[in-house]
Amino acid sequence: MNPSDFKFNECIPEKYISLYNILTVNINNNYVHKHYVHKHYVHKHFTKIKDVDMKILIYLHNYDLINICITCKYFLSLCRDNIFWMNKVLQRYSNLGTVEQIRNDFLGNAIWRDYYFWLVNLEFIDPNTVYLDAVYHEKLDIIKLITPGVHYNIIIQGYNKASKDKKKHITDAILEVVDFPLLKMI
């Protein structure tokens, strides 16, 4: 359960794996050129100012990012930028905290792109299983993300399995994202 060495699970849609592969392998210019479509149409909706265009791209769904990334070298370079993926994490997973909190508490040795895809990958696994594993490994970022979709019995089960020294951190992470009065009384 480490973002720096994750592997996609078998349930994740192929489109996510395709996007990740496009971003991580060296694509030669012929490939981009072959898929370079509607140059003027695409560019008239973007400013060609890197920071502004990144802000626009952040709101695209991952499926749309696949298509835009292979449109031209400019978009591919935006999609490969680590700052873009940092902002994508903050936009999609805002309950994890600030950049500094995520970097200090969760990111580890991973780069933002890999951390983003690691988080996306978790969405395609049974939340109860992910939650119990996260409690066991004290992965507070996963606990914060997954707890709202976990049945209350599983929350208590995970809490009870946690070691005494981990219970305070786990309780705080759970209570940040769900109102669970019973846990406050334990």
pLDDT, one tens digit per residue, over 43-58 is 566 788 889 999 989 9
What is the average pLDDT across 113-125? 87
65-69, 92-96, 144-148: least confidently modelled range: 144-148
65 shares its domain with 132: no
Answer for the pair 125, 96: CB distance below 8 angstroms, yes or no: no
User: Does 169 reside within a domain?
Assistant: yes
Q: What pLDDT is recorded for position 47?
A: 83
How many Å separate Cα 95 from the centre of its chain?
A: 12
Mean of pLDDT over the chain: 77
29 shares its domain with 50: yes
Specify the number of domains making up the chain: 2
Q: Which structural domain, as residue segments, surrounds residue 164?
A: 127-185
Measured CA to CA, the distance from residue 22 to residue 117 in angstroms comes to 13
DSSP one-letter string for the chain: --GGG----TTS-HHHHHHHHHHHS---HHHHHHT---HHHHHHTS-S-HHHHHHHHHTS-HHHHHHHHTT-HHHHHHHT-HHHHHHHHHHH-GGG--HHHHIIIIITT--HHHHHHHHHHHTTS-HHHHHHHHHHHT-HHHHHHHGGGS-HHHHHHHHHHS-HHHHHHHHHHHHHHS--HHHHH-
User: Does 43 reside within a domain?
Assistant: yes
Could you give the angle at the alpha carbon of 12 between the alpha carbons of 95 and 173, nearest 5°? 25
Pick from 122, 137, 172: which residue ends a domain?
122
User: Does 151 reside within a domain?
Assistant: yes
| Tokens at 44, concatenated | 């008239």
